[in-house]
């Protein structure tokens, strides 16, 4: 069958579930991943055929997409900050907002790019923050923690895949067994979604991504922010930076909490115009 013809079939099959732009992005991701064909290649070679083996794979994926499985889990990888990351259901799929957080950190450090900074990433998941920082700050020393052993396996693979060294440790930040080292920068994108916000979320997230990475604990939406701010109060060097990705509806509360611990704070909006990140400078 002609690949272009299959594209029509593919689009029709998903029409009820997704907007057209998203379907076309799925198709582009799949053809790039499995057939090594870009959109441009297809435009230049409209007679490109799809084999019957490939058709079987694509039809299986089509069913998964109809069930709202995220494309990134289906193909097992995604891109973050220009780097490739392996992902599966044990880790949150890296979001563009988190790229903005990394970008903020790197901008702040633009004059210190060659310093030997000690950086800690808490709740690393796929390792996307720690690894992209390590890649861009070649002399820094990255440590990354996660409560999930499965996530840490993925994160270690990703560090190897991207040729950087990160020290990964299995720790529950709410129940630390012993004190941590001191750091120049601490960053975290902890779980921050409350029950009341679930109605804003899509099926692909709700039904597939790890609950432990998304939802707040014990009905306390700031439990991770409190624990990490307290830790940063003791383990961050003077003038050190604490960065969080935050719940847009709790920006004020997060800011107050950090100020009470003696941090000078700045909030920052993401591309969607929501307060999505905060920086605290230790006084
Ligand atoms: N931004 C994510 C979402 O909306 C949540 C990430 C998090 O809880 N840290 O799905």
What is the phi-psi region of residue 223: left when phi exceeds 0, alpha when psi lies from -120 to 50, beta otherwise?
A: alpha
**How many structural domains is the chain composed of?**
2
Query: Are both 122 and 244 inside the same structural domain?
Result: yes
Query: Are both 54 and 158 inside the same structural domain?
Result: no
0.90 exceeded by pTM: yes
Known binding-site residues for S-adenosyl-L-methionine equal: 123-127, 146, 189
pLDDT of residue 223: 96
More confident residue, 39 or 135: 135
- Residue 73 in any domain: the answer is no
Supply the ipTM of this predicted assembly: 0.92
Least confident of 40-49, 84-93, 242-251, 254-263: 40-49
150-184 per-position pLDDT tens digit: 999 999 999 999 999 999 999 999 999 888 999 99
Residues of the domain holding 62:
3-67
Over 90: is that where the pLDDT of 247 sits? yes
Query: Are both 51 and 152 inside the same structural domain?
Result: no
Give the mean pLDDT of the chain. 95
Q: Strands 83-86, 77-80: parallel, antiparallel or unpaired by DSSP?
A: antiparallel
Query: Are both 131 and 195 inside the same structural domain?
Result: yes
207-216 per-position pLDDT tens digit: 999 999 999 9
Query: Are both 179 and 236 inside the same structural domain?
Result: yes
Q: Which atom of ligand 1 is found nearest the CA of 205?
A: 10
- Residue 22 in any domain: the answer is yes
> What's the CA angle centered on 110, arms 105 and 111, to 5 degrees?
130
Query: Are both 35 and 107 inside the same structural domain?
Result: no
Q: Which of 147, 193, 215 to mutate to test the pocket of ligand 1 (most atoms within 8 A of CB)?
A: 193
As given in the structure block, the two tokens for residue 117 are: 């900074």
């Amino acid at each position: 069958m002609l690949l272009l013809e299959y594209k029509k079939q593919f689009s029709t099959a998903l029409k009820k579930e997704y907007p057209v732009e998203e379907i076309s992005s799925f198709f582009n991701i799949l053809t790039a991943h499995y057939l090594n064909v870009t959109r441009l290649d297809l435009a230049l070679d409209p007679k490109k055929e799809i084999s019957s083996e490939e058709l079987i794979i694509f039809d299986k994926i089509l069913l998964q997409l109809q069930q709202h499985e995220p494309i990134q889990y289906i193909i097992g990888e995604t891109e973050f900050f220009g780097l490739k990351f392996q992902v599966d259901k044990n880790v949150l799929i890296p979001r563009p907002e988190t790229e903005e957080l990394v970008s903020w950190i790197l901008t702040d450090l633009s004059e210190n790019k060659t310093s030997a900074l000690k950086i800690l990433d808490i709740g690393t998941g796929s390792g996307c923050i720690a690894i992209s920082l390590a890649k861009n700050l070649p002399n820094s020393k990255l440590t990354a923690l996660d409560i999930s052993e499965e996530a840490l396996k993925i994160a270690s693979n990703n560090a190897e895949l991207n040729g950087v060294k990160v020290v990964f440790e299995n720790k529950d930040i709410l129940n630390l067994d012993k004190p941590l080292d001191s750091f120049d920068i601490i960053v975290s994108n902890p779980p921050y979604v409350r029950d009341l916000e679930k109605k804003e979320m899509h099926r692909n997230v709700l039904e597939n991504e790890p609950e432990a990475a998304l939802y707040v604990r014990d009905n306390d939406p700031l439990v991770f922010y409190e624990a990490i701010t307290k830790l940063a109060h003791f383990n961050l060097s003077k003038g050190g930076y604490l960065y969080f990705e935050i719940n847009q509806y709790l920006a004020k509360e997060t800011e107050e909490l950090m100020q009470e611990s003696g941090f000078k704070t700045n909030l920052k909006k993401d591309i969607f115009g929501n307060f999505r990140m905060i920086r605290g400078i230790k006084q």
